Amino acid sequence: MIENENENENESECESESIAASETTLPIQERFVSVQGEGALVGVPSSFVRVAGCNLRCTWCDSPATSWEASGRRTSLDELVEFCQDGPQHVVITGGEPLLFKGVAALTRLLAAAGHHITIETAGTVWQDDVCCDLMSISPKLSHSTPWQRAPRLAHRHDQRRIALKTLRRLMSSFTWQLKFVVQGRDAGALARDVGEIETLLTQLAVARTDRACVLLMPECVDPGALTDRYRALTRLCVERGFRVGERLHIALFGHTPGT
């Protein structure tokens, strides 16, 4: 079963859970082998399977081909398993929002049976039954993600959906988790606002102080030349608060390049 806390809303603009029907194929935007660029497993060689389709519309989305202009090729689960079998043990299923798609649960079961370590990258707004996952990598979206200027008609819906407490609690109690937050680093005021939102959410989720090493703050930045300055500002803050500085290794190595 796929659950969204706001499932009774009008589904006119964003892709919805209804796109998720097939259990034997998935709309794949890209697949590739690289190293994990974010999170606790940064640097680990991994196969990436990126699903096209998302229920959110972050204004700064760094994979718009899975959200704003979603396009994917229907691909059988067998083909995806075969692709992963030829690659590293670690597999990252990302998007878009992979948990929207019924085929993702089936894919994770096949990959787990084949001995893969599975990370799912999710915004944490959707629950799906029968998923196998070694690391649920959850990236709740802060208020600066809302596209008030870019798409006012979608903005309210995005803002209502971006934090789903019940789903976040369920994901975190069911899987090994990490929380990744994209924060603004251009000025101290923006950063302080973001950190205030994060602290509030962590309180609502009852995240213990000792678990803050699993809470990663990453700069909103796709320019390799600007990353170092953003990290400096973030590092001071992370030391003060006990958060982990979240690397964006793929950006540092390759810039904002698909397939990396």
Report the interface residues with ligand SF4, using CB under 6 A.
54, 56-58, 61, 63, 66-67, 95-97, 123, 141
In three-state secondary structure terms, 78 is helix
Q: How far is the CB of 169 from ligand SF4 (least distance, A)?
A: 19
d(CA 235, CA 94): 27
Q: Name which of 46 and 63 has its Cβ closer to ligand SF4.
A: 63
Count other Cβ atoms within 10 Å, centred on residue 218: 24
Nearer to ligand SF4, 220 or 247 (CB): 220
Distance CA 221, CA 119 (A): 23
Tell me how far apart the alpha carbons of residues 125 and 165 are, in angstroms, rounded to a whole number.
8
Cα separation, 173 vs 41, in Å, equals: 20
Q: How far apart are CA 112 and CA 133, in angstroms?
A: 8
The residue (of 38 and 97) whose beta carbon lies closer to ligand SF4 is: 97
Beta strands 90-94; 117-122: pairing state? parallel
E strands, the chain, in order: 2-4, 25-35, 45-51, 73-76, 90-94, 117-122, 126-128, 135-138, 177-183, 215-219, 244-245
- 51 sits in the region (left: phi over 0; alpha: psi -120 to 50; else beta) called beta
CB of 125 to ligand SF4, least distance (A): 8
**Residue in this structure with the two tokens 């899987």, named with its chain if needed:** 175
CB of 113 to ligand SF4, least distance (A): 28
Identify which of residues 98 and 103 has a Cβ nearer to ligand SF4 in the complex: 98
Query: CB-wise, 30 or 241, nearer to ligand SF4?
Result: 30
Closer Cβ to ligand SF4, 85 or 152, answer by number: 152
